[in-house]
Amino acid sequence: MVSISDLVQKTLKAGYLTVEAEEQLRKLLATQYNLEDLNAFVALQEAAMTGQVKQESRELRLKSSTEKRAIANSCCRYAITK
């Protein structure tokens, strides 16, 4: 099984955290991990907060939210014109 440090290193290199990698991190963090893994995870969090790493899950949420607003706006316009 891959370690948190390995997964973080791969993510930092790619600059992108996939949903699958995020889920893998959750599972790994639920088990025992060492100080190196913890430090790597903190580095990943900092990279995500500063925009060095993009998160697929965040992009999907934003896309979904935008689509919902577009649908709501079109429904309101339709109701107003009727």
- Output the pTM of the full model: 0.73
3-state secondary structure labels for all residues of 9-62: HHHHHHCEECHHHHHHHHHHHCCCCCHHHHHHHHHHHHHHHCCCCEEHHHHHHH
Predicted confidence pLDDT, tens digits, the chain (82 residues) = 789 999 999 999 999 999 999 999 999 999 989 999 999 999 999 999 999 999 999 888 888 777 667 666 766 665 555 5
What's the pLDDT tens digit per position in 11-21?
A: 999 999 999 99
- Which H or E run contains 7? helix 4-14
Residue ranges covered by each domain of the chain: 4-81
N-to-C CA span, the chain: 59
Q: Which amino acid is at 56?
A: E
Sorted by sequence, the CB contacts under 8 Å of residue 60 that are 6+ apart come out as 19
